[in-house]
Amino acid sequence: MQVILAQALLGLNVGVFYAMLSLGLAVIFGLLNIINFAHGAMYMLGAFIALIGYSFLEQWLGISLQIGFWASLILVPLLVGLLGVLIERLLLRRLYDLDHIYGLLLTFGITLILQGLFSNYFNVSGTPYPGQPESLSGVVNLGFMYFPTYRLFAIVFSLVVCFATWFFIEHTKLGSRLRAGVENPDLTQAFGLNVPLMITLTFAFGAGLAGLAGVLAAPIYSVSPLMGADLIIVVFAVVVIGGMGSIMGAILSGLALGLIEGLTKVIYPPAASTVIFFLMVLVLLFRPAGLFGKEK
């Protein structure tokens, strides 16, 4: 039982990253109808900006400057969100009237460019992030296991971010305006709301969420140019299972599938890497809109 509980908690630790990344994808697809394949690259970029800010600024710029973990939690999502603004304004905006495949191909190309750029300067096998705060080092005694303090912080912080985002979109006036702008942009603009700006900020917010997940992941996993590519396929499967565009579906599916993956490592380890895709096939067969999606 102790092994099962320990593995479930480790699975939940993976699940919160699935949930955060799936949430960003669901926000962008649900509100903008864009399949953003560059989402994994935004996650990777967030981790690298945190790493560069902590370890390489002094070496590259010759100035004594180090951006710590807490500052990165604020600055990195803003910087990645700014890149999202540029991508939406300069590139994606030209494709809104075309088939979804064009947006998918464009964001896939952006992913390859960013991966290639960072692969030229950093180790593909990964670079450790040394900036974990001293206050989050050590372990916590949970009774059935000793669990790293930082991982516990990552779980709690990610859950707060996920459910705060859901509440903002579903239960605030600004969130209702965002949803109205997507469902009926002409009517919303007639009421004096700047729909293009809302679309840009929504894409930037989704990209910023991916960047934030990258910062949280940096102290746990090695920072690698391929870390986003390794995760994005799984995240797409999570979004499909939860329901494309469903905010709560992305959160709950991400958490649940992380737990299932963790428990599978105890019950039947060889299936741990494929169980999510097996569940995706079952969902597509019996409920194509996803567990929380709306049937058309």
**pTM, full prediction:** 0.91
* Backbone torsion region of residue 147, taken as left when φ is above 0, otherwise alpha when ψ lies between -120 and 50, otherwise beta: beta
**pLDDT for 190-209, tens place per residue?**
777 777 888 888 899 999 99
Least confident of 162-166, 180-184, 263-267: 180-184
pLDDT of residue 8: 85
What pLDDT score does 47 carry?
95
Task: Give the dihedral of Cα atoms 245, 251, 256, 257; nearest 10 deg.
Answer: 60
pLDDT at 183: 65
Note the pLDDT tens digit of each residue in 93-117.
888 778 888 888 999 999 999 999 9
Q: Which residues pair with 139 in a beta bridge?
A: 148
192's tokens:
């004096």
Over 70: is that where the pLDDT of 160 sits? yes
pLDDT digits (tens, 9 = 90+) for 182-193: 666 677 777 777
The pLDDT of residue 258: 92
What is the pLDDT, as a whole number, of residue 3? 78
Whether the per-residue pLDDT at 249 is higher than 80: the answer is yes
Which of 23, 79, 66 has the alpha carbon at shortest distance from 208?
79
Helical axes 69-90 vs 39-55, angle rounded to 10°: 140
Q: What is the mean pLDDT of residues 129-157?
A: 90
Residue 45 and residue 75 in contact, taking contact as beta carbons nearer than 8 Å: no
Q: Which residues on adjacent β-strands are paired with residue 141?
A: 146
Residue 217: pLDDT over 90 = yes
pLDDT of residue 48: 95
Please give the distance of CA 116 from its chain centroid, rounded to a whole number.
20
Q: Is the pLDDT reported for residue 296 higher than 70? A: no
What is the Cα–Cα distance from 215 to 233, expressed in whole angstroms?
A: 20
Higher per-residue pLDDT: 177 or 248: 248
Going by C-alpha positions, the residue among 293, 203, 285, 287 that lies closest to residue 252 is 293
For residues 226 and 114, what is the distance between their CA atoms, to the nearest angstrom?
10
Q: What is the pLDDT of residue 87?
A: 94
